[in-house]
Amino acid sequence: MDGLQQFFDAYQTTIGFIGLNAMLALSVWLTLYTGQLTLGNAAFAGIAAYGSALLTMKAGYPFPLALACGALLAAAVSLPLGATVFRLRGVYLAIATLAFGEVVRVAILAIPITGRGQGLVGIPPKTELWHIFASLLVIAYVCARLRISTVGRAWAAIREDELAAASQGIPVRRYKLAAFVLGALIAGWAGGLGAHFDFAIQPDEFGFARAVQILVFAVVGGIPNVFGPILGALLFTALPAVLQPLQEYRDIFQGVILVLVIVYLPRGLATLLELRRTARLRTVGAEDVA
């Protein structure tokens, strides 16, 4: 028991980050499930992180209210953005959201109240582990319910064939936008929690590399259900700590694992959960991610 306590003490940050990353992975999962590739979620997390941290630090807002305001701010930004960029698809959509993310990063660097390149330091550490995991539980539950609801079926229909979905009377643009804004809201919530989990945030933490990392969690985890993104976040957040003994060879192993999973597990790590049903496995190859 003592050993377990020690382990928990030592890795409590990593455990927290697993939860935060799982939420971010779910936030991008929503749009991926709709068949849309967006890379704006790191920026949404950033907007909310800075927004909520400034509210608790400078305006003295209570923590839950600041979190909610941050997440709503992210969602409020995502609405007009989504309304404009969802004219695009595929790589174009991805790059447009990416460009938005960079504009956000540069804006943070240019606004003095954010501490600019020096970062925002001295954020009160209000986030407890249970906040993170309770949030994750609620978000995962909502996403899982959404997936099997009418909305979820409409999203799946859009992913399979947009034109067919539209011809059946599904308001395609509106459904895509809903997934995008909900994703921004979740990313914002995670961003706010993350800002109050560390003591400091930096513009770089919400840049291109982070956006790609979030995407990796979701895709490697698998898009078919909500367990995939959570599993992906778990694996790739824990991996650096687990592979620590490998020292300078660690990145190589991480790269190898990434390639192996993508090449040999077409539907992501979520396939692992279906291993027992070997009969289904034969059909897996045909049905791919995203």
Partner 1 sequence: MDKRIFGALGALAITLAACGGTATTSASGSPNATSTAAKPDVKVGVVISLTGVGNVYGPTQKNGVELAAQRINDAGGVSGAKLVLVIDDDQSTTDGGVTAFRKQTSQDRVVAILGPTLSNTAVAAHPVAQSAQTPVIAISNTGDGIVGKCDWGTCDYIFRASLGESTAIPQTVSIAKSKLNVKSVVLMYAQDDKFSSDGFAIFKKNLTSSGITIKKEIAFSKTDVDLSGPVTAALAESPDAIVDSSLAGPAIQVLKEVNKRKPGMLVIGGNGFNTPAIIASAGAAAEGAVSGAAWYLGNPDPVNKDFVTAYKAKYNADPDQFAAQAYSAVYILLDALKRTPTVTSVLHDKLRDQIELTTGVKTPLGEFSFNASHDVTQKVYVVQIKNGQFTLIN
Partner 2 sequence: MADQIYNAVFIGSIYALFALGFTLVFSVLDILNLAHPALFTLGAFTALFAMQQGVPAALAVLVAFVVCGAAGVILDRVAFAPLRRRNAPPLSAMISSIGVSLILIRLIQLQYGPDLQAYPAGALPAAVFSVGGLELDTLRTVIIGLAIGLMLALTYLVRSTRLGRELRALAENPRAARLLGIDVDRAIAATFFLSAGLGGIAGALYGFATNSPFSQMGQSFELKAFSVMIVGGMGSIPGAVLGAYLLSFGEIASLTFLPSELRDAFAFGLLFVVLLVRPRGILGQRDVDRV
Query: Which residues are near partner 2 by CB under 8 A?
Result: 37, 84-92, 95-96, 98-100, 102-103, 106-107, 109-110, 162, 172-173, 208, 212, 215-216, 219-220, 248-249, 251-252, 254-259, 262-263, 266, 285, 288-290
* Bridging pattern class, strands 120-121 and 200-201: antiparallel
- State how far Cα 211 lies from the chain centre: 8
* Between 13 and 168, CB nearer to partner 1: 13
3-state DSSP call for residue 121? strand
* Between 78 and 202, CB nearer to partner 1: 202
Q: Which residues of 41-64 are buried (b: 16+ CB within 10 A; e: fewer)?
A: bbbbbbbbbbbbbbbbbeeebebe
Instruction: Find where tokens 């011809």 sit.
Output: 167
* Between 262 and 272, CB nearer to partner 2: 262
x/- letters, 147..186, toward partner 1 (CB under 8 A): ----------------------------------------
Tell me how far apart the alpha carbons of residues 243 and 142 are, in angstroms, rounded to a whole number: 33
The distance of closest approach from Cβ of residue 199 to partner 1 in the complex, given in angstroms and rounded to an integer, is 5
* Between 92 and 141, CB nearer to partner 2: 92
3-state DSSP call for residue 123? coil
Tell me how far apart the alpha carbons of residues 229 and 63 are, in angstroms, rounded to a whole number: 27
Binding of residue 257 to partner 1 (CB under 8 A): yes
Binding of residue 281 to partner 1 (CB under 8 A): yes
**Window of 4-12, 25-33, 61-69, 183-191 that interacts with partner 1 by CB under 8 A:** 4-12
